[in-house]
Chain A
Amino acid sequence: MSDVGYIRRHNRPLYFFALFYLAFLYIPVLFLPLFSFNDAIYVAFPIKGFTTAWYEQMLTNEPMHAALVNSLKVGAASSAIATMLGIFGAKAVTKYRIKGEKPVVSVIMLPLVIPGIILGVALLILLSRIGVTLSLYTVTLGHILICVPFSMATLMARFEGFDKSMEEASADLGDNVWWTFWRVTLPLVAPGVIASLLLCFTISFDEFIMAFFLAGTEPTLPIFIYGQLRFPQKLPSVLALGACILVVSFVVVFVSQWLQRRDDPAAQGLGN
């Protein structure tokens, strides 16, 4: 007789599957930091020696800095706007009984399944028809479009786990809808808001296809990196940059997941 329940008993094949799966996911990614310290221009084995030269080169690469700043701007703007839209949207579909709510939510979620290249081309045609010059603004617009579904999904979960009587209590205690939103609703969904901001920022920061179509003369970082791939001598410093982005992305995703889980009202048992 085992002292562990059937479900919790160790399952060796499953254990190996998990290991294999993790290796499959992360070993290719780990080549990035590995070669970023390799003392050779060509990305190939055997490893030649250790160097931080590529990181130094990265630090002095002005066009790369410009692209990084562009990406940060686009990421900040599109995550902020997408999250704001997400807050209002999620609040509307979870609180009010709206006619045709389900189709509306489906339409909002649609960009999740439309290929980026289609959206990119469509937006490009639309914008050029109405005579808008391509710039970081148009990239931001495209990124908002693909970020809103993620923001909505994140925030809807948060709004659904939210006790309606909290807002009623606030109204009962003298606050109108705006004060209630500011003093009760927003603080209670704050972890979801932050998670949405981080998630949208990561999506925008990584996004290539939309940016490729919609960026004018100012490239975002992924576009810049793609351009650098044509010059073999510049590749190692791109790898150095990639390694840095990888670390930052991991941290951001980890923090957002952690915030999602922390003080979730459902998990805390507010009822008792």
Chain B
Amino acid sequence: MNGNDAYIRIEKVSKHFGDVAAVDNVEFNISGGEFFSLLGASGCGKTTLLRMLAGFETPTMGEIYIDGAAITGVPPHQRPTNMVFQNYAIFPHLDVRRNTAYGLRTEKLDKAESNRRVDEALEMVKLQGFGDRKSTELSGGQRQRVALARALIRRPKVLLLDEPLGALDKKLREEMQLELRALQQSLGITFIFVTHDQEEAMTLSDRVAVMSGGKVLQIAAPKEIYNRPVSVEVADFIGQMNFVDASVTDLADGQALIDTAGLGQIKARATEFAHKGANIVVAVRPEKLTLSKDRPAGEGNAVQGVISTAAYLGDRSHFYVTVAGTDKPIAVAAQESDMSDGQSLGADSAVWLSWSDEAVVLLNRA
């Protein structure tokens, strides 16, 4: 990182389309050199926010600063940002070389320097030798690379990416994710990446902003969002999560004593929602639960149930366990290595579920 914690400042930004607030009073900072993702379902406002950064939309309220300068009054062609469009927006009447060189007009370079810059940009995206290719003859992955080269050739302070991998097939997408991350680290510029794919956001980003209904729900590093979601909505959007209604019976030493519907009396790290008598939600990731035939030894949390569905997925298995008192079966994900003790756990097997105190997250009941 450039050591600039507030390289981009988004201050109380809202964007209304008619009566609808596409972006609703959003406020956060992005550091210089950060790979920052805006994550959310379609219509959550992530693309509108990105388009306000690019200058294609003007905030109804609020101000955006890039490197200390207010930019909401600056037209797109004068901003220090460049964008990779969702459909790539490759100019069909220009070949790869001319597409890449498009943004150099305003820099007024001589021919040799301009050629050098184009070669450099094409090399960056591994398209050397494709310069004379017509843009209509490119595959999806190649178009994506041209879009990237075309945006990077202007050496932007901030690169905006609007679901750039959405149109690619799974394998190509994973390959491009690695390349994007490597590119961002070698260039050291700020990437702001819009996606609805939580796995993609988690893999690529230094930090992720989870958005919904025009608001930012949580901004944190991927690991923290996964392990310590701040709300049921975030927990539900990122990966799979079991939710069980519960109420707090006692608080002591930062630990909360909780009475759950089905999981018995448990202990967990207290959060801001956990005051005595509060109705809350207990959330546990499927992979933080352990299945066993016999009651695990020791004092740990454990509850008995019956497997309703079992699915073998190769490297891991998914189970749904019906536990008396819960309204939905509890999802459990077990690694193949955990199951190697010869136990055959099929449907209708009686099992024990166990977990550690740290596995549980307490959330406000929505």
Residues of A within 8 A of B (CB): 163, 165-166, 168-176, 179, 183-184, 187-188, 190, 263, 265, 268, 270-272
Q: Which residues 58-117 of B sit at the A interface, judged by CB distance below 8 A?
A: 75-78, 81-83, 85-87, 89-93, 102-103, 105-106
- Are B154 and A169 interface neighbours, CB within 8 A? no
Contact flag A168-B89 (CB < 8 Å), given A173-B150, A174-B77, A268-B136? yes
* Interface class of chain A by DSSP: helix
Contact flag A172-B140 (CB < 8 Å), given A163-B87, A166-B89, A184-B91? no
Tell yes or no: B347 within 8 A of A by CB: no
- Are A179 and B91 interface neighbours, CB within 8 A? no
- Are B89 and A165 interface neighbours, CB within 8 A? yes
- Are B92 and A172 interface neighbours, CB within 8 A? no
Jot down 29 A-B pairs with beta carbons below 8 A, ordered by A: A163-B87, A165-B86, A165-B89, A168-B83, A171-B55, A172-B54, A172-B77, A173-B77, A173-B82, A173-B102, A173-B151, A173-B154, A174-B78, A174-B154, A175-B105, A175-B106, A176-B75, A176-B77, A179-B105, A183-B102, A187-B93, A188-B91, A188-B93, A263-B92, A265-B92, A270-B87, A270-B90, A272-B140, A272-B167
Q: Which residue on chain A has the smallest CB distance to residue B160?
A: A172
Residues of B within 8 A of A (CB): 54-56, 75-78, 81-83, 85-87, 89-93, 102-103, 105-106, 136, 140, 150-151, 154, 167
Residues on B with beta carbons closer than 8 Å to the beta carbon of A179: 105
- Are B82 and A172 interface neighbours, CB within 8 A? yes
- B143 to chain A minimum Cβ distance, whole angstroms, is 8
CA–CA, A187 and B154, complex, Å: 23
- B148 to chain A minimum Cβ distance, whole angstroms, is 12
- B260 to chain A minimum Cβ distance, whole angstroms, is 49
- Are A168 and B56 interface neighbours, CB within 8 A? yes
CA–CA, A265 and B54, complex, Å: 25
Q: Which residue on chain A has the smallest CB distance to residue B135?
A: A270
- B123 to chain A minimum Cβ distance, whole angstroms, is 19
17 additional contacts (CB under 8 A) given A175-B105, A179-B105, A188-B92: A165-B85, A165-B86, A168-B56, A169-B91, A170-B102, A171-B56, A171-B76, A171-B77, A172-B82, A173-B77, A173-B82, A174-B105, A176-B77, A187-B93, A188-B91, A270-B87, A270-B136
